[in-house]
Amino acid sequence: MPSNPPITSPSLAPCGLYVHVPFCETKCGYCDFYSVALKDRNPTPLVDCIGRELRQRVNGCAHAVRTVFFGGGTPTILPLSELARLLNFVYEAVNVRQLEEFTVEANPATVDDEKAELLVSSGVSRVSMGAQSFFRNELATLERLHSPEDIAPSVATLRRHGVGQINLDLIFGIPGQTLETWSQSLSRAIDLGPDHIACYGLTYEPGTRLTAMRRHGRMTPCDEDIEADMFLRTFDTLESAGYRQYEISNYAKPGCECRHNLLYWRNEPYIGVGPSAAGCVDGRRYKNVADVAGYVRLIERDGHAEVDSEIIDTEMLIVELVMMQLRLNEGLSIAVFRERIGVDPRDSFGEALMRLVDLGLVTVSDTHIALTRSGRLVANTVVAELAAVPRQADLALPIL
Ligand code: SF4
């Protein structure tokens, strides 16, 4: 094994590294992430190109990588040898001893003893597992391949090999799901003792099979009021089981919050590599082509696979700070907003902010602007209202 790079200066600002592995066994009906079925494909050229991009981006970045996240897709369906090569690219480019967290996404029944052993020996500290539901009919509606019985053994395998932290993803608002079955899924997840539980409301994204079925009346979505009850039940159930909500959809035992995702929500820099991956470093955002063959071709020909990039101007940055930080229970940091934008957000958002406070949707303290419990139920509306202020007011914004 090659030697791990030297320790980087602790004064370097931290950043995250996201690696997109775009292979799954099949495509789930609700999923709009870029992923394709692995089937008979040879993943080797793609893994080579991801390694090349990863080296280039990490070496060319003035920040120190502190968190790594392998997402997708389903990284753990790669054959063992290809997964090992991919993990090794991180080992070669990043000082893993300085990592605060190394997460790999997995699906139930895609991690056996060999893969779990490989993950742990490669420095992976956290596995995020797409459990989604503990009911067969709900998993079938989502077109998930695994069964409820696969979840516990997969968690046990990861624990047996010493994976430090485990997250379970769950989905509520599934057609046919009831408040009762949702509560049971939550309880069964809690029984497995994960360190972190993420609960997402089902969304109907353009271009997915589920959205088409809904449009053609072949599927009835969950009632909105029941979905709101599920959201509130989630909070009550998980908080009383010792999980603290720290983001609208994310709950963790104390100290087990996902550091990589926190970096997104706090608008800190991140590198993205792989097909469809996005990155944002030093005020510039880029996006790679969402196509395996196109990605390999561009990396081999040009050394990068960016198909889109933009400089984030002040107005965009304000919208992003509001959109991302209000998702966090701690809320929008007044100090960070002042530092990044040069003005106090309480002055910038003035009347709109006060209106939201009067409605009981937002609180304002000396340090943060945050959503209340009722505000979290209508978070998109609150964010849209605040994000519209800079445009409506035509504020004289400072040039970044
Ligand atoms: S396993 Fe995950 S990434 Fe793959 S298709 Fe299903 S939802 Fe999408």
**Which residue's structure tokens are 């990863």?**
54
Question: For position 391, what pLDDT does the model report?
Answer: 59
Query: Following DSSP, what letter does each residue of 137-203 receive, concatenated?
Result: HHHHHTT-SS-HHHHHHHHHHHHHTT-SEEEEEEEE--TT--HHHHHHHHHHHHHT--SEEEEEE--
The closest residue, in CA terms, to atom 6 on ligand 1 is: 28
User: Which atom of ligand 1 is closest in space to residue 30's alpha carbon?
Assistant: 7
Domains recognised in the chain with CATH numbers: 14-265 (3.80.30.20), 314-393 (1.10.10.920)
Q: What is the pLDDT of residue 2?
A: 56
Distance CA 7, CA 57 (A): 18
CA of 110 to the centre of ligand 1 (A): 12
**Ligand 1 site, CB within 6 A:** 24, 27-28, 31, 33, 35, 72-74, 107, 130
Average of per-residue pLDDT values in the chain: 94
pLDDT at 396: 45
- Reported as a single tens digit per residue, the pLDDT across 30-71 is 999 999 999 989 999 999 999 999 999 999 999 999 999 999
CA 73 to ligand 1: nearest atom: 3
Q: List, for residues 334-353, the tens digit of each pLDDT value.
A: 999 999 999 999 999 999 99
- To 10 degrees, what angle do helices 345-358 and 379-393 make? 140
Residues of the chain with pLDDT under 70: 1-3, 6-11, 390-400
For 289-324, the pLDDT digits (tens) are 999 999 999 999 999 999 999 999 999 999 999 999
Distance (Å, whole) CA 69 – CA 109 = 20
CA 25 to chain CA centroid, nearest Å: 20
For ligand 1, atom 8: residue with the closest CA: 31
Q: What is the pLDDT of residue 398?
A: 44
Q: CA 272 to CA 276: how far, in whole Å? A: 9
How high is the pLDDT of residue 400?
38
Ligand 1 atom index nearest CA of 107: 1
State which ligand 1 atom lies nearest to the alpha carbon of 105. 2
Q: What pLDDT score does 393 carry? A: 56
Q: What is the pLDDT at residue 12?
A: 75
